[in-house]
A = this chain, B = another copy of it.
């Protein structure tokens, strides 16, 4: 409703009604409906051009503090870059660990670099069931009272308490992107995909930073549920 009022204000409704009399109220209605029609089309998808946001799909992975890295891989150990990730400075390392919960474990879990101030394990909801834990859906870094796992490396083991989350879906973008998409940092938006499992996903957090590159991060459950792959696209969708 607020949107409709804004549209009318932006279209200067006062001017629209000039020249209309009781006799041509119908014409006035038609004109108003034309405006509503045009704007409802425009407003649902943010921009007709370049409104695509590439998808980046995250499999389960781990970020390690230097302390935990050395505990798992040995004193003074440094990560070896395997390949750059899309977000500048971030990379997949050659190193992998095993993560184990009360019900199951996963081997070959990729360590992402560089080392961070705090370790954090990111898994999917289906991994929760396989591992027998209940990691909550959280934004990266929000790990208070999150879940626990045992992490096993070639030189040692670390019991990670409150360091396991299911990553809340999010979009990385620059301040310039934010202006383009008319969103702001920390805003939660809906994103739309098309195809054989078309969907509109809510609760997608926008994260704005000069160093980010435009990318919508989903996990494997989400990617499979909506049948999308790396570098497919979402569009920000404003249903209201």
Contacts and interface: CB of A to CB of B under 8 A. Distances in A.
Interface residues of A, number: 41
Contact of A125 (B21, B199, B224): B224
Can you tell how many copies of this chain the complex includes?
2
A220 interface: yes
A25 B202 CA distance: 39
Contacts of A224: 124-126, 221, 225
Contacts of A17: 25-26, 29
A179 interface: no
Contacts of A196: 137, 203
Interface string A21-43: 11001101100110011001000
Interface of A: 1, 4-5, 8, 13, 17, 20-22, 25-26, 28-29, 32-33, 36-37, 40, 124-126, 137, 169, 190, 196-203, 219-222, 224-227, 239
A82 B124 CA distance: 30
A199 B198 contact: no
